């Protein structure tokens, strides 16, 4: 398959397990492949401290390590990895166009979107005010700052459970605040939560407001000092004096640059069939951006594999 400087058989957008697996399969299938992976390739797994459910790693592996290995593997096989964001996509007619970096134009016969999903926020004004000042969406990134302090985690899914367990390594106490009376997290994580003496689960409560005040120890500005919760059954308010507030309430698919061109479902995920074909022929979606259910590295990787195999097949078909 032919290449000029800015044209590739397949362009992949996204550098999580879906993007890299798609790239590895596409390049091994004989295609010229560019992958736009952002400044720090690796996607959400960069923030996962330990992964113990990715096959092939008998000992837990850090997310960053796993992604570095995928990056190295893709590069070794000949994938051109651009550490730039894709800024615009023209998907209406083939060849498809991607603007990236400083508005440089790239074209491709097929595109695989593997942009993932970003963490969701509560939407409280006080949450925004104290983000980066005690309020965080990333326990792995910020947990260290709360050594010996009390923190709370909002959410009841696997991410919230994992965050609580991770934070318990540093914090003196971790409150896990969930809006229902039953966690969504898997049984194994629930068992771990139950056997950790530092973790207390508060059911049936939702955040009302993040509290803040002047930063201690000479630091500038204000910092979060706690949170006010409301009991959804009784309406009663409860205050937690936790300078660390970790939000872990799920994700929103990253579709900003494609959303108006592709069919999305009600939650904003790209609609793709079992062959990862989107509403535009030649454009495929793989991983969390089209998967509202599983959000697993290994599922995303499999999804990227399918997308690449189908994209290769499509390129062969249109050549005929």
Catalytic residues, by residue number, are 138, 141-142
Residues 200-229 that bind ligand NAP (CB under 6 A): 206
Contact between 157 and ligand NAP (CB under 6 A)?
yes
Q: Considering only residues 154, 171, 245, 300, which one is a binding residue for ligand NAP as defined by CB under 6 A?
A: 154
Binds ligand NAP by CB under 6 A, chosen from 21, 115, 136, 159: 159
How far is CA 177 from each of CA 85, 154, 172, rounded to the nearest angstrom?
35, 5, 16
**Would you count residue 9 as binding ligand NAP (CB under 6 A)?**
no
Q: Nearest distance from residue 295's CB to ligand NAP, in Å?
A: 3
Our finding on whether 184 is near ligand NAP (CB under 6 A) is: yes
Binding of residue 158 to ligand NAP (CB under 6 A) = yes
Contact between 250 and ligand NAP per CB under 6 A = yes
Query: CB under 6 A: which stretch of 102-110, 228-236, 244-252, 264-272 binds ligand NAP?
Result: 244-252
Residue among 89 and 227 whose Cβ is closer to ligand NAP: 227
Tell me which DSSP letter residue 110 carries. Answer: E
Q: How many residues bind ligand NAP (CB under 6 A)?
A: 20
Report the distance separating Cα 125 and Cα 25, nearest Å. Answer: 45
CA distance 279 to 179: 36
Q: Which is nearer to ligand NAP, 293 or 320 (CB)?
A: 293
* Burial category of 47 from C-beta neighbours within 10 Å (exposed 0-12, middle 13-18, buried 19 and up): middle
Q: Work out whether 179 is an interface residue with ligand NAP (CB under 6 A).
A: yes
For the chain, report the end-to-end CA distance as a whole number of angstroms. Answer: 13
Nearest by Cα to 113 from 303, 316, 256, 289: 289
Residue closest to ligand NAP, measured at CB: 157
**Rounded least distance, CB 166 to ligand NAP, Å:** 11
The whole-angstrom separation of Cα 178 and Cα 157 is: 9
Q: Which one of 142-150, 156-164, 191-199, 268-276 is the stretch in contact with ligand NAP (CB under 6 A)?
A: 156-164
d(CA 131, CA 248): 13
Calpha distance 8→81 (Å, rounded): 12
**Rounded to the nearest 5°, which phi and psi values hold at 311?**
-65, -40
Applying CB under 6 A, does 162 fall inside the site for ligand NAP?
A: yes
User: CB-wise, 42 or 109, nearer to ligand NAP?
Assistant: 42
Alpha-carbon gap, residue 116 to 102, rounded angstroms: 23
Give contact residues for ligand NAP (rule: CB under 6 A): 53, 122, 154-160, 162, 179-180, 184, 206, 249-251, 294-296
């Amino acid at each position: 398959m032919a290449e000029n400087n800015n044209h590739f058989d397949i362009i992949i957008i996204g550098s999580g397990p879906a993007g890299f697996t798609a790239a590895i399969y596409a390049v091994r299938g004989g295609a010229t492949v560019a992958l736009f992976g952002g400044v720090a390739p690796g996607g959400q797994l960069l923030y996962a401290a330990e992964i113990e459910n990715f096959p092939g790693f008998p000992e837990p592996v850090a997310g960053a390590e796993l992604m570095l290995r995928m990056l190295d593997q893709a590069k070794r096989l000949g994938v051109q990895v651009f550490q730039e964001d894709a800024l615009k996509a023209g998907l209406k007619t083939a060849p498809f166009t991607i603007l990236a970096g400083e508005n440089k134009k790239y074209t491709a016969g097929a595109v695989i979107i593997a942009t993932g999903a970003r963490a969701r926020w509560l939407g409280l004004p006080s949450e925004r005010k104290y983000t980066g000042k005690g309020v965080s969406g990333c326990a792995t990134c910020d947990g260290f700052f709360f050594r010996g302090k009390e923190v709370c985690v909002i959410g009841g899914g696997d991410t919230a459970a994992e965050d609580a367990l991770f934070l318990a390594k540093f914090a003196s106490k971790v409150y896990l605040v969930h809006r229902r009376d039953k966690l969504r997290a898997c049984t194994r994580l629930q068992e771990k939560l139950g056997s950790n003496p530092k973790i207390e689960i508060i059911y049936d409560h939702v955040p009302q407001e993040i509290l803040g005040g002047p930063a201690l120890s000479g630091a500038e500005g204000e910092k979060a000092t706690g949170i006010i919760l409301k009991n959804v059954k009784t309406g009663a308010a409860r205050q937690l004096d936790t300078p660390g507030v970790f939000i872990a309430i799920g994700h929103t698919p990253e579709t900003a640059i494609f959303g108006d061109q592709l069919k999305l479902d009600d939650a904003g995920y790209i609609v793709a069939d079992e062959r990862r074909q989107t509403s535009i022929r030649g454009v495929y979606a793989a991983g969390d951006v089209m998967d509202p259910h599983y959000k697993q590295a290994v599922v995303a990787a499999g999804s990227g594999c399918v997308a690449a195999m189908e994209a290769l097949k499509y390129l062969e078909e249109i050549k005929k």
